[in-house]
Structure 1
């Protein structure tokens, strides 16, 4: 189920980068503010940052959960 949600968030991040980040982290997070600023300054940097945050931080979260369970 988490992979399907990540896929949907990445698709939304391509169309409107802050929206994908907002769904994962909320509107008052540092990730959302950075993504919003980058999207205002340039659409492509906003997309790159949003995809990076959604994919990279998601893998870090799963690694931490694995080590917590072990």
Structure 2
């Protein structure tokens, strides 16, 4: 069972609805996850949001 989300994670989930790559960048930095999210967001907004939420939920 995952621990409850912190306040900063809740804000990142909200930010991911509008600018998914920025939320991933703030969570993980400029690594592969960020570039994957940019590509997914270019392909469609929804895949970018889903990936961002996945990254936010999986990484501390």
TM-score with structure 1 setting the length = 0.73
RMSD: 1.3
Cα deviation digits, residues 11-46 of structure 1 (max 9, x gap): 11111100100101112x011011010000111000
Give the number of aligned pairs.
56
Structure 2-normalised TM-score?
0.85
2:20 is matched with 17
Equivalent residue for 1:48? 50
Which stretches in structure 2 are left out of the alignment for 5+ residues?
A: none
Q: SS of the residue aligned with 1:9?
A: helix
Tell me which structure has the larger Cα radius of gyration. 1
Counterpart pick for 1:34 among 33, 36, 48: 36
Greater RCO between the two (CA within 8 Å, min separation 6)?
Answer: 2
More helix by share: 1
